[in-house]
Amino acid sequence: MIKKSAIIIGGGVIGAFTAYQLLNKGWQVTIVDKGRFGEGCSEGNCGLIVPNHILPLNASGTLFKTIRGMLLKDAPLYVKPRIDLDLFKWFYRFSRNCGQRNVLASARGRHALLQSSFGLYPSIVEKEQLDCNWEMGGSLHVFRTAKEWRAYGAVDAVLRKFGIAAEKLNRDRLLHLEPGLSPDLVGGWHYNQTAHLWPERLLEALRRLLTKKGANIIEDAEATGFETHNGRAEGVRAGGKIIAGHAFVVAAGAWTPQLQQELGCRIPIQPGKGYALTTTRPLAAPSRPCFFEEKSVVATPWTDGFRLGGTMEFSGFDDSLNPKRLKALSNGAAQYMPGITAGAVEKEWCGFRPMTYDGLPIIDQSPRLKNVTIAAGHNMMGISMGPGTGKLVAEMINRETPHIDPRPYSLERFSRTGFEKTST
Ligand SMILES: Cc1cc2nc3c(=O)[nH]c(=O)nc-3n(C[C@H](O)[C@H](O)[C@H](O)COP(=O)(O)OP(=O)(O)OC[C@H]3O[C@@H](n4cnc5c(N)ncnc54)[C@H](O)[C@@H]3O)c2cc1C
């Protein structure tokens, strides 16, 4: 019997988990990437699987912080001042999504995908023996100011309605859990249902696994459009060739809008640039991932390495490494944990998060080409949402009953809110 073939545009965590699920369902899979597999935003991020992060950025007074950040070049949130109509529209829509009703709607969609992924990860890691420093050790949100520590109680109250509980820690309890933290801190919140991994190693392991299962990975081949017939795609133009297939997935992360004309819909995704600094593991490293809240810096410890990550910069696809922003990561972290920056620097990195204005990914069929599925816009949660997304996309392509309700991730939501026409 001739196998059905799926072509996936984008070899990031979303493309990789989609490939994995399709291979398991008997599809023949080809992944095309404009660069190297696994070297987009999925490469150097913090590697946290955090099902408690159900609230989108809209929920956190981000707009005010962004406006303030425009004035400070080392602020965690920064918008490069420039004339960019798409960015302006994106922020306008972002601001319209800050109300409680919209935030809760996003939270419900995020919750479903995060729970699905958190449930799938351990079995995939174990069954496929993915060598990626997988650890289920919980995580800490750490505070320097009493005001912010107490204010987090409002987040906790919302999360509890979703069945996600944290332990509130006073300073003594916090220092008991992480003795290397500064005694100046006021307290924290502890989640035990979280995990972390080393993203580069995850992507390397997935590459080996997909190849072993028969996937074809084509690199340095930018997809520029589709060969079409009767409202369906027959092939994708990439790297000077036409790669034919029965089904297509666009998992091109922050670059997905570059194909929007071909897809027949607007894709409201902006690149949200983040930075990461990887060092050898310092003696003072925390034993579990920590969010240093007031400075928006994340620390991820691995047995043989350590990473600080953070910042959100809306500056287009400028991939230069700003030393001030890297310095802000280590200076910020050192205020919470003296000695945390003592490791030898191994890697300085930046990546582009695919940011939608409501914090939800897009997982839906192209309105123009019925056999093309879009799977992009995972914001700050692509590693956390990867397995669930892959499963949902494969179910949609294979015409199976989806394991979670796909409606929150539809393109239709953009037209429903009156902000976005879904056809160009
Ligand atoms: C500093 C930082 C820390 C983060 N920490 C976490 C974390 O702890 N946990 C978490 O869950 N998430 C985290 N994230 C977010 C996470 O990294 C992203 O959500 C995720 O990597 C997005 O995956 P993706 O597969 O959609 O995109 P990508 O990994 O960017 O992959 C897209 C791929 O598509 C390719 N591509 C694009 N256009 C084309 C084209 N036309 N033709 C062919 N190929 C194309 C690109 O080359 C790229 O390889 C973090 C991000 C940053 C920046």
Predicted confidence (pLDDT) per residue in 129-164, tens digit: 999 999 999 999 999 999 999 999 999 999 999 999
Please give the distance, rounded to the nearest whole angstrom, from the Cα atom of residue 383 to the centre of ligand 1: 8
pLDDT at 417 over 70: no
Give the pLDDT of residue 424.
45
Please give the distance, rounded to the nearest whole angstrom, from the Cα atom of residue 37 to the centre of ligand 1: 11
Beta-bridged to residue 373, according to DSSP, are 249, 365
Give the pLDDT of residue 217.
98
Q: Best mutation site among 121, 207, 380 for ligand 1, i.e. most ligand atoms within 8 A of its Cβ?
A: 380
Please give the distance, rounded to the nearest whole angstrom, from the Cα atom of residue 275 to the centre of ligand 1: 13
Closest atom of ligand 1 to 309 CA is 1
Give the pLDDT of residue 78.
80
Closest atom of ligand 1 to 310 CA is 1
pTM: 0.96
Question: Which CATH superfamily hosts domain 5-416?
Answer: FAD/NAD(P)-binding domain (3.50.50.60)
Give the pLDDT of residue 59.
82
pLDDT at 263 over 50: yes
Please give the distance, rounded to the nearest whole angstrom, from the Cα atom of residue 349 to the centre of ligand 1: 13
| Ranges of each domain in the chain | 5-416
pLDDT at 408 over 60: yes
6-46 pLDDT, tens digit each: 999 999 999 999 999 999 999 999 999 999 999 999 999 99
pLDDT at 422 over 50: no
Please give the distance, rounded to the nearest whole angstrom, from the Cα atom of residue 215 to the centre of ligand 1: 20
Kindly state the average pLDDT of the residues 385-414. Answer: 97
179-194 pLDDT, tens digit each: 999 999 999 999 999 9
Which residues does a 6 A CB cutoff place in the pocket of ligand 1? 9-15, 32-35, 39-42, 45-48, 222-223, 251-255, 258, 274-276, 309, 351, 353-354, 376, 378, 380-384
Give the pLDDT band of residue 73 (cuts 50, 70, 90): low
